[in-house]
A and B are shown apart, each in its own frame.
Chain A
Amino acid sequence: KQEVTQIPAALSVPEGENLVLNCSFTDSAIYNLQWFRQDPGKGLTSLLLIQSSQREQTSGRLNASLDKSSGRSTLYIAASQPGDSATYLCAVIPGNTGKLIFGQGTTLQVKP
């Protein structure tokens, strides 16, 4: 059974710092991996989607990498800002199912 783990569960950093959020999954047979952002009391906003054949995706200050063989993905946030404070969720689609399996999320606080 596919399981997704995100470490750390919470992270607090000063503004301007570069940071890395980690996501690991137990079964490397995935179709894609998606990173989301969730603000308190809000829905999920898709940040980046990495197909299984890709190694990384970039959007602005965000860069996500994927290493299927080791079952790991990282989300790199450059020059963090207070507006980046949110919970970041990692999710994978195992096999040809279309069903997202989510991690528990990392709650990020960026202090001014």
Chain B
Amino acid sequence: NAGVTQTPKFRVLKTGQSMTLLCAQDMNHEYMYWYRQDPGMGLRLIHYSVGEGTTAKGEVPDGYNVSRLKKQNFLLGLESAAPSQTSVYFCASSYLDSVDEQFFGPGTRLTVL
């Protein structure tokens, strides 16, 4: 099993550009999450999904959109990137929500100039 994978690993954008981050898991997990990690702020939840076709807002959802068209994939979109979105983005998944451990991907380092 590959576990949780993320593409791309690195990306540099100019302000106003758009992009999509892809997260894939092969563990048949129902729940998937997107976090961002910033120095001094720790990891914060952006959006999450409790199953195929569902999405919900987390702690810091503004400026991001997500989609879960297939159970194994969770996409994070930035429609108009801003320098404040420079961060490391992590995807995670779990079989159930509150009782199961979350498994994390390797992260995507995004810089917005």
Contacts and interface: CB of A to CB of B under 8 A. Distances in A.
Contacts of B26: none
Contacts of B96: 98
A43 interface: yes
Interface of A: 31-32, 34, 36, 42-46, 49, 51, 89, 91, 93, 95-100, 102-105
Interface residues of B, number: 27
Interface of A, helix, strand, loop or mixed by DSSP: strand
Interface in B68-94: 90, 92, 94
B42 A43 contact: no
Contact of B101 (A42, A46, A96, A99): A46
B103 to A, nearest CB: 6
A89 B42 CA distance: 9
B43 A102 contact: yes
